[in-house]
Amino acid sequence: MRTLIATAFVSLDGVVEAPGGEPGYRNSGWTVHGVEFDPDAYRIKGEEQDEATALLLGRVSYQAFSPVWPGMDDEFGSYNAMPKMVVSTTLRPEDLVQNWGATTILRGIDDVAAAKQGDGGPIIIHGSATLVRSLTDAGLIDRFHLLVFPLLLGAGTRLFGATDKDMQRLDLIDGERYANGVQKLVYTVRR
């Protein structure tokens, strides 16, 4: 079975955001402007790229990344080369970009579960907060890679949902605190 990894920049109160910000609320841009930049805190991003063998995205993140990442081989060369899966009920094959390698459209959670059962190494999810919430609620996430920023933001997109569900226990397998107050927390989901 393949390992499904969700990676995120998250505030202490659970708000997630793409680097550089997302429109729609007053604290947008907190991943860049909220704390001093510390390159050590982002070392995990290179480690994730080295470990992953496939990239899984929700439709919104796919549509945000696909016009940009293919031209950023210095930063995302491994991701650009690996197979991608996008979970969407509305995307059509002709909506996929042609310069970003092999991309498969998955139509729902059951398709993600089937992809996990296949052969291959870890699958990593970037962004895709709605997808991560659904996969967490379905018990399909195996590991979380979190960079937790020492900020309380209030409004914003949440990493975890408010679904009334069975408790999921996590085991901290790696952690580090950086000079800017950001903490790396890597958890596996206890099965």
Can you give the CATH number for the domain in which 142 is found?
3.40.430.10
* Residue 117 domain flag: yes
Q: Mean pLDDT for the chain?
A: 93
* Residue 127 domain flag: yes
User: Residue 177 above 90 pLDDT?
Assistant: yes
Condensed to tens digits (0 to 9), the pLDDT of residues 21-63 reads 777 778 888 988 889 999 999 999 999 989 999 999 999 999 9
Condensed to tens digits (0 to 9), the pLDDT of residues 108-139 reads 999 999 999 999 999 999 989 999 999 999 99
Q: Residue 109's CB: how many other CB atoms inside 10 A?
A: 15
* Residue 17 domain flag: no
The distance from CA 124 to its chain's CA centroid, rounded to whole angstroms, is 7
- Spatial separation of the C-alpha atoms in residues 48 and 126, rounded to whole Å: 10
Range of the domain at 175: 4-10+35-149+161-189
What beta strand segments (E) does 2-149 contain?
4-11, 54-58, 84-87, 103-106, 123-126, 143-149
Query: Interior CA angle at 170 toward 164 and 174, to 5°?
Result: 145
* Residue 21 domain flag: no
The distance from CA 130 to its chain's CA centroid, rounded to whole angstroms, is 10
Structure confidence at residue 50 (pLDDT): 92
DSSP per residue, 133-148: HHHHHTT---EEEEEE
3-state secondary structure at position 114: helix
Structure confidence at residue 63 (pLDDT): 93
Q: How many structural domains are present in the chain? A: 1
* Residue 20 domain flag: no
